[in-house]
């Protein structure tokens, strides 16, 4: 609980309309999109300026208050949930696009700008901001930077990290740190910017972001390829990569996902197919034509059941939009959707599908799998009911075994959703106790009192292997 004088100081800083502490408000800000995590904070503030963020962190320091930054709460690892109570700081009212610099090809924004809004603003100026997570209509750039979000175009264009050029960050004691700039090259000392990207709000609060923009591709072509089994879909991905073609997008959906998405979008996806790949090649028109031809030949060679080329840009856009709803659409089937973020080297894709199939049977589960196949980043999603303890424990066993295999193949436990609260137990398995210790020393250097987003990334002694069981 926070004492009344502290509450009134917070209110002085942000103003009455930018602070919430009624029980109902706290209850609905105790979750993000991660199932099974619900921990209401003690107070919620919506700063609208960097100065306010500084002042809020000073109050937090003086009173020992934990601070959990939050964007739109679409995170899938519990990152923006107040694990230790205290203050949730929502940055989504800082949503101005401050500048689009056409001479340097950069955009500078406040952290609460919605991803798609930046894309559109850049597009209006004939520029392109590629990162496009499935949640792009809702998620904020602050959240994207802190999770290093990927997206449908990650294969060719990379992830959020590849576009961040500068950050303004308020540290846990209220000091300001600016790192990076509009320089294309910059090796002045440690790369704090790169450390901050993907740090899940544990090192500082981001209040300004400068990203790189690029010229948009001149042409593109979109395909849907249908398969009678997931393994050949996986093989198609590996073969395309091996042929040294880098499409912008190679997204995969299995039958369960196709059906759920079709229930929602009703665009005539074939329900009986085992899987589909959404492939988009873009770039110079001549190269697009050539790549499209090579992709088609490979798809035929791996015996894709059918290949469909999008008629026009509208159809291509609606196919991508449909893919973006995959996770939410899977939630139609069952009360709880436990999603994972397993990522493997791309040569292992076909085997990974085999493994998922085997484990689905072994643990008698319903699983829908979709993901950024071109990145080797899959989201096997267990469709279950959190009220069924037995089913939940089988689901956890499924992930344990799957991750053991993924790690053995040199994969990672998180391709894009972060560790947060959900996957703390897995981190040491991937990077070793030594790796975790170095990370903790860095955390201490930035935030010695452990006030910023406590309870994330690092497992306490008591919570070694209990992922998902917060």
Partner 1 sequence: MKSDARIGNFTPRDAPHYDDALQCMRCGFCLPTCPTFALTGRERSSPRGRVALARAVAEEQLEFTAAVRDEAFFCLDCRACTTACPSGVRAGEIMEICRSQAQSFHPLGHPGKTFREFVLQKMLPSPDLLETSMLPARLYQRLGIQWLVRRSKVLKLGADWIDKAAGMLPELAPPLRKQLPTIIPARGQQRGRVGFFLGCVMTLMYPHVSRQTVRVLSHQGFDVITPREIKCCGAPHLSEGDRETARQLALKNLELLMAADVEAIVTDCAGCGSALKEYEELLEGLVPTETLAAFRSKVRDVAEFLAEVGLRTENLIPVNTSVTYHEPCHLCHAQGVSRQPRILLSQIPGVELREMNESSWCCGSAATWGLKFSKASQQVLDRKLGNVAATGAELLVTANPGCQLQLAWGVREAGLPQQVVHLMELLGQATPQ
Ligand X SMILES: Cc1cc2nc3c(=O)[nH]c(=O)nc-3n(C[C@H](O)[C@H](O)[C@H](O)COP(=O)(O)OP(=O)(O)OC[C@H]3O[C@@H](n4cnc5c(N)ncnc54)[C@H](O)[C@@H]3O)c2cc1C
Nearer to ligand X, 194 or 351 (CB): 194
Pick the closer one to partner 1 by CB: 92 or 144. 92
Among 9, 61, 84, 93, binds partner 1 (CB under 8 A): 93
287 in contact with partner 1 (CB under 8 A): no
Q: Is 317 near partner 1 (CB under 8 A)?
A: no
Q: Verify binding: residue 35, partner 1, rule CB under 8 A.
A: yes
Rounded to a whole number of angstroms, the minimum distance from the CB of residue 177 to partner 1 is 28
CB 74 → ligand SF4: shortest distance, Å?
9
CB of 266 to partner 1, least distance (A): 10
| Spatial distance between the Cα atoms of 374 and 464, rounded to a whole number of angstroms | 32
Q: Kindly tell me which residue out of 331, 397, 407, 436 binds partner 1, with binding defined by CB under 8 A.
A: 331
With beta carbons less than 8 A apart as the criterion, state whether 382 and 366 touch: yes
Are 133 and 150 spatial neighbours (Cβ–Cβ below 8 Å)?
A: yes
CB atoms closer than 10 angstroms to residue 215 = 9
Nearer to ligand X, 248 or 299 (CB): 248
Q: Read out DSSP for 372-418?
A: EGGGTEEEEEEEE-TT-HHHHHHHHHHHHHHHHHHHHTT-BS-SSS-
How many residues bind ligand X (CB under 6 A)? The answer is 37
H-helix or E-strand containing 155? Answer: helix 154-157
227 CB neighbour count, 10 Å cutoff: 25
436, 458 in Cβ contact below 8 A?
A: yes
Residue closest to ligand SF4 when measured from CB atoms? 328
Q: Is 19 in the site for ligand X (CB under 6 A)?
A: no
- Which of 24, 312, 390, 460 forms a contact with partner 1 (CB under 8 A)? 24
Q: Nearest-CA neighbor of 27 among 82, 75, 64?
A: 82
Residue 142 binds to ligand X (criterion: CB under 6 A): yes
The residue within the footprint of ligand X, chosen from 79, 180, 376, 425 (CB under 6 A), is 79
Other Cβ atoms closer than 10 A to 320: 19
* Residue 381: closest CA among 415, 337, 412, 343: 337
Of positions 149, 225, 237, 383, contacts ligand X by CB under 6 A: 149
User: Is residue 58 a contact point for ligand SF4 (CB under 6 A)?
Assistant: no
Q: Which of 151, 180, 376, 425 binds ligand X (CB under 6 A)?
A: 151
73 binds ligand X (CB under 6 A): yes
Span near partner 1 by CB under 8 A; candidates 54-62, 231-239, 326-334, 462-470: 326-334
- Confirm or reject binding of residue 337 to partner 1 (CB under 8 A): yes
153 to 192: interface string for ligand X, x by CB under 6 A: ----------------------------------------
Side-by-side strand order, sheet with 43-45: 19-20, 43-45, 87-90, 67-70
**Is residue 72 involved in binding partner 1 (CB under 8 A)?**
yes
> Dihedral, CA atoms, 426, 430, 432, 437, nearest 10 degrees?
-70
Residue 390: C-alpha distances to residues 26, 109, 321, 393, 413 (Å): 31, 47, 35, 5, 24
Task: Measure Cα distances from 356 to 351, 388, 400, 466 in Å.
Answer: 9, 22, 12, 21
Cβ proximity to ligand X: between 53 and 292 the closer is 53
Residue length, the chain?
A: 470
Q: Given the complex with partner 1, which of 92 and 168 has the nearer CB atom? A: 92
Q: What is the DSSP letter of 87?
A: E
By CB under 6 A, is residue 328 in contact with ligand SF4? yes
Strands 43-45 and 19-20 turn out to be antiparallel
Choose between 196 and 235: whose C-beta lies nearer to ligand X. Answer: 196
> Binding to ligand SF4 by residue 11, rule CB under 6 A?
no
Q: Is 430 in the site for ligand SF4 (CB under 6 A)?
A: no
Residue 461 CB coordination number (10 Å):
5
Contact 315, 220 (CB under 8 A): no
Locate the DSSP E strands across 171-235: 176-180, 205-212, 219-227
Shortest gap between Cβ of 138 and ligand SF4 (angstroms)? 9
- What is the closest distance, in whole angstroms, from the C-beta atom of residue 176 to ligand X in the complex? 13
Residues that bind ligand X (CB under 6 A): 32-33, 68-76, 79-80, 91, 111, 133-135, 139-140, 142-144, 146-147, 149-151, 200-201, 205-206, 327-328, 416-417, 453
Residues that bind ligand SF4 (CB under 6 A): 328, 331
């Amino acid at each position: 609980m926070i004492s009344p004088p502290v509450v009134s100081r917070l209110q002085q800083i942000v103003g009455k309309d930018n602070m919430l502490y009624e029980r109902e408000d706290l209850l609905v800000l105790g979750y993000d999109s991660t199932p099974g995590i619900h921990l209401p904070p003690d107070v919620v503030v919506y700063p609208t300026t960097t100065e306010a963020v500084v002042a809020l962190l000073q109050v937090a320091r003086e009173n020992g208050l934990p601070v959990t930054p939050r964007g739109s709460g679409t995170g899938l690892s519990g990152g923006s949930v107040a694990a230790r109570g205290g203050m949730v700081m929502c940055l989504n009212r800082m949503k101005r696009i401050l500048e689009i610099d056409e001479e340097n090809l950069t955009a500078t924004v406040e952290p609460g700008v919605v991803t798609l809004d930046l894309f559109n603003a850049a597009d209006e100026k004939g520029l392109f901001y590629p990162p496009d997570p499935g949640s792009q209509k809702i998620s904020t750039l602050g959240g994207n930077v802190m999770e290093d979000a990927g997206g449908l175009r990650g294969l060719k264009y990379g992830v959020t990290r590849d576009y961040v050029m500068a950050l303004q960050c308020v540290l846990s004691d209220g000091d300001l740190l600016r790192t990076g700039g509009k320089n294309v090259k910059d090796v002045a000392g440690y790369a704090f910017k790169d450390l901050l990207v993907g740090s899940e709000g544990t090192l500082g609060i981001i209040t300004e972001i400068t990203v790189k923009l690029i010229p948009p591709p001149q042409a593109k072509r979109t395909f849907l390829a249908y398969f009678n089994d997931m393994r050949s879909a996986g093989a198609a991905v590996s073969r395309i990569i091996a042929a040294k073609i880098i499409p912008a997008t190679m997204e995969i959906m299995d039958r369960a996902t196709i059906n759920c998405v079709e229930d929602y979008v009703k665009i005539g996806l074939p329900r009986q197919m085992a899987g589909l790949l959404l492939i988009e090649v873009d770039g110079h028109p001549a190269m697009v034509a050539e790549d499209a031809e090579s992709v088609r030949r490979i798809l035929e060679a791996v015996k894709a059941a059918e290949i469909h080329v999008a008629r026009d840009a509208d159809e291509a856009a609606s196919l991508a939009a449909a893919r973006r709803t995959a996770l939410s659409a899977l939630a139609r089937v069952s009360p709880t959707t436990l999603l994972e973020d397993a990522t493997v080297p791309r040569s292992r894709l076909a085997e990974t599908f085999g493994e998922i199939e085997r484990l689905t049977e072994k643990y008698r589960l319903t699983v829908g799998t979709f993901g950024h196949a071109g990145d080797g980043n899959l989201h096997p999603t267990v469709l279950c009911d959190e009220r069924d303890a037995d089913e939940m424990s089988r689901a956890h066993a499924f992930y344990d075994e799957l991750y053991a295999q993924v790690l053995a193949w040199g994969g990672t436990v998180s391709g894009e959703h972060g560790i947060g609260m959900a996957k703390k137990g897995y981190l040491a398995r991937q990077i070793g106790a030594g790796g975790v210790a170095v990370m903790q020393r860095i955390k201490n250097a930035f935030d010695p009192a452990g006030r910023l987003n406590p309870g994330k990334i690092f497992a306490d002694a008591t919570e070694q292997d209990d992922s998902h069981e917060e």
